[in-house]
Amino acid sequence: MKSEKIMYKLFLIFIVLGISLYAQDSLALLKKVQNNSALYMSYKQQNFVCKPYGIETVEELLERSDVNSSCKNFLNEFRKQHPKEKVFAAYFLHKQQLYSVSDIKQRCLLHLSTGYSYSEALLEKGYARVLPDYTFTDVILKYRFTRAVKRAKINKAGLWSDMKVRDCFLRPITK
């Protein structure tokens, strides 16, 4: 009886947290995949670019002006050795499919049917990092992203497979 009450309370907490997490979701159509960090979508006939929430992809890091040339060389070599990284979004997501998305801090949290987000999938594959100075307003997302990174580290996935790349990728952002 006591354990049933505890389970019921935990279930209610989970429901409340889940509702608050997805309260502002919209269904958007994936029109085109440019790369892992730029998904072209449409909502109510309005087109927009979905950039994954809370993370920075390899593409975004390569585009940054504050990344030194040796790190860019390491990252480009990594991309040659891991050709699936470049086409992950095109392989993983499906064009002309509806996805549940949330707009958070001018970024897009794209929810997958598996219960994960696209950002988590990139983190787990080692193709992205959580921004070091990023402040999560949602503790559940912060926890889920931390767990995805931990799984990538354990499996030595993506950037976690090469120390030079990892060190460049995880270098703090200079302002």
Q: Are 136 and 54 in contact (CB under 8 A)?
A: yes
**How far is Cα 59 from Cα 56, in angstroms, rounded to an integer?**
8
Sign of CA dihedral 19, 22, 27, 29: negative
Residue 15: per-residue pLDDT: 37
**How far is Cα 2 from Cα 6, in angstroms, rounded to an integer?**
6
For the chain, the domains span 52-92+101-169
Q: Give the pLDDT confidence of 111-152 residue by residue, as tens digits.
A: 998 889 999 999 999 999 998 777 788 889 999 999 999 999
Residue 4: per-residue pLDDT: 56
Q: Is the CATH number 2.40.50 carried by domain 52-92+101-169?
A: yes
Could you say which residues of the chain have pLDDT below 70? 1-24, 171-175
Q: Which of 76, 49, 37 is nearest to 169 (CA)?
A: 76
**How far is Cα 111 from Cα 27, in angstroms, rounded to an integer?**
10
DSSP symbol at 52: B
Global pTM? 0.81
Number of helices (H), then strands (E), in the chain: 8, 7
